[in-house]
């Protein structure tokens, strides 16, 4: 067993363990942080496999953008940050589905490859990867960006209860600026108290 095998086993264990913590924790923010650990371990696997470009893309896009977007959406929609009983659901259906899928994939891969040695192709470069991405995979790339944008807009709409609120007649209330400054309740209460205090003096 070489050092690369040890690193692959260690990083794989970290990725699987953090992925299990993502789906078993009751804290949404902790689930996002465990997802960062899982994606970072996967980036380490890519580095061990000498796919440096894919590893840094994993860190920059998934760890640095997608996870931040998820945490931002959680905080923007005012979701419960602490422990939530709604997340404590029976886990046996997911366990059956995940275990069945894992066993099926394992049996498929073992039956397909057995102990045959597969010749590795020529190492890819950033130029070849970019050409393949923006020629053959440009449509899924753009669809994913539109999906993330729609998720962000939806989080903003959900966090604003005044948008689309029905009026008395059943019509939606337009979100128009009032044009006047509405002071906080603490200032209004102090303004009500000050004339009485002056009269007392």
Say what the pTM is.
0.56
> Which residue matches tokens 């924790």?
25
Q: Is residue 25 assigned to a domain?
A: yes
Question: Residue 65's domain is classified under what CATH number?
Answer: 1.20.120.1200
Instruction: Count how many domains the chain has.
Output: 1
Structure tokens at 88: 């404590």
Number of helices (H), then strands (E), in the chain: 8, 0
Residues whose CB falls within 8 Å of the CB of residue 84, separated by 6 or more in sequence, listed in order:
26, 27, 28
Q: Is residue 149 assigned to a domain?
A: no
State which residues form the domain around 11: 1-85
Q: Is residue 109 assigned to a domain?
A: no
Q: Give the tens place of pLDDT for each residue, 140-199.
A: 888 888 987 887 788 777 766 666 555 555 555 555 555 554 555 544 444 444 444 555
Q: Is residue 3 assigned to a domain?
A: yes
Radius of gyration over alpha carbons of the chain, in Å?
26
Q: Is residue 73 assigned to a domain?
A: yes
Q: Is residue 79 assigned to a domain?
A: yes
Assess whether pLDDT exceeds 70 at residue 54. Answer: yes
Q: Is residue 154 assigned to a domain?
A: no
Q: Is residue 137 assigned to a domain?
A: no
Distance CA 141, CA 64 (A): 17
Distance CA 63, CA 33 (A): 10
Distance CA 153, CA 49 (A): 38
CB-hemisphere CA count at 13 Å for 19?
Answer: 12
Q: Helix (H, G, I), strand (E, B), or coil: what is residue 170?
A: coil
| Sequence-separated contacts (24+) of 128-137 with Cβ below 8 Å | 129/53, 129/54
């Amino acid at each position: 067993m070489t050092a690369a095998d040890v690193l692959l086993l260690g990083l794989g264990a970290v990725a699987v363990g953090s992925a299990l913590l993502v789906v078993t924790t009751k804290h949404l923010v902790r689930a996002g942080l465990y997802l960062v650990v899982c994606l970072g371990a996967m980036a380490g696997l890519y580095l061990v496999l000498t796919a440096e470009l894919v590893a840094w893309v994993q860190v920059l896009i998934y760890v640095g953008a997608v996870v931040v977007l998820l945490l931002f959406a959680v905080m923007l929609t005012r979701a419960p940050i602490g422990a939530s009983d709604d997340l404590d659901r029976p886990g046996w259906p997911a366990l059956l589905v995940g275990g069945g899928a894992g066993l099926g994939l394992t049996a498929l891969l073992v039956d397909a490859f057995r102990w045959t040695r597969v010749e590795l192709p020529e190492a890819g470069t950033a130029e070849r990867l970019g050409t393949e991405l923006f020629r053959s995979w440009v449509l899924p790339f753009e669809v994913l960006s539109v999906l993330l944008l729609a998720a962000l807009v939806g989080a903003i709409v959900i966090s604003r209860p005044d948008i689309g609120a029905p009026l008395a007649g059943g019509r939606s209330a337009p979100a128009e600026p009032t044009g006047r400054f509405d002071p906080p309740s603490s200032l209004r209460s102090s303004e009500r108290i000050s004339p009485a205090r002056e009269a007392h003096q």
